[in-house]
Amino acid sequence: METNENAFKFFEAELEHAKQQATTERRPAVTLTYAQSLDGFLALPNGPFELSGPESLVLTHTLRATHDCILVGVSTVIKDNPLLNVRLFSFPNQQLISQQFHHPRPVILDSKLRLPLDARILSRNPIVFTLANSVRSERRFALESKGAEILEIGEDFDFGGLNLESVLNILFSRFDCRSLMVEGGASVIRSFLAKRTFVNQLVVTISPIFLGNGIHIMELNQVEHESISLSD
């Protein structure tokens, strides 16, 4: 569809500018994207809620097609068992497909190596980051034999979890990743918002609904309306 092709060209242009900036810092340009309700909730307390409509899903897949890698947390893999490929994006121009279209390589943050051995994402040779010295050798071997590439890194002692700066630096230097799309889940989104200097583009889909309760974009008991400055 012409709309998809135009969207692809738009995001390519925006990403190219972001990649030029990020290259000086030796890390990929990061696009953080998620859907939320009007009151900032990502899901209901007992599970996901469909916040994205058909147009939003096409947008998501358009974004995927413009990035080298796509990152999620292991909880998202366990809950949704996604492939993280591009399916809802088509071009009438076959030359454009062959030259620019691709499926982004999956990246999984998995501090305790909980990635299921039957996860569909293993068929796409994901890069898996886990905490150093916390991996059982037999578990690592089993996942690697299924297609995962596992890297042990240090902890972020300020915010907890994996060190995002190490993740970005390794993706840039070892995997030649120049653009990274971050899709979720909630803890991953919060981590990147906390380290917002790592984020080059923020794409938020807001559903016209109030949920009132559930998983919020920010941990309400820890956040005191801290302002976030966005520049052109």
How would you write the pLDDT of the chain (232 residues) with one tens digit per residue?
A: 455 566 666 667 777 777 777 778 889 999 998 888 888 888 777 766 676 666 667 777 778 888 899 999 999 999 999 998 887 765 544 444 444 567 899 999 999 999 999 999 999 999 999 998 877 889 999 999 999 999 999 998 776 689 999 999 999 999 999 999 999 888 899 899 888 889 998 888 887 888 888 888 876 443 333 434 444 4
Q: Where are the alpha helices (DSSP H) in the chain?
A: 2-23, 54-65, 74-80, 94-100, 137-145, 164-175, 186-194
Closest CA to 74 of 157, 137, 134: 134
CA–CA distances in Å: residue 38 to residues 45, 183, 210, 211, 216: 16, 19, 5, 8, 11
- Reading the block at residue 200, the tokens are 């080059």
Q: Which residue has the tokens 């299924």?
A: 146
pTM exceeds 0.85: no
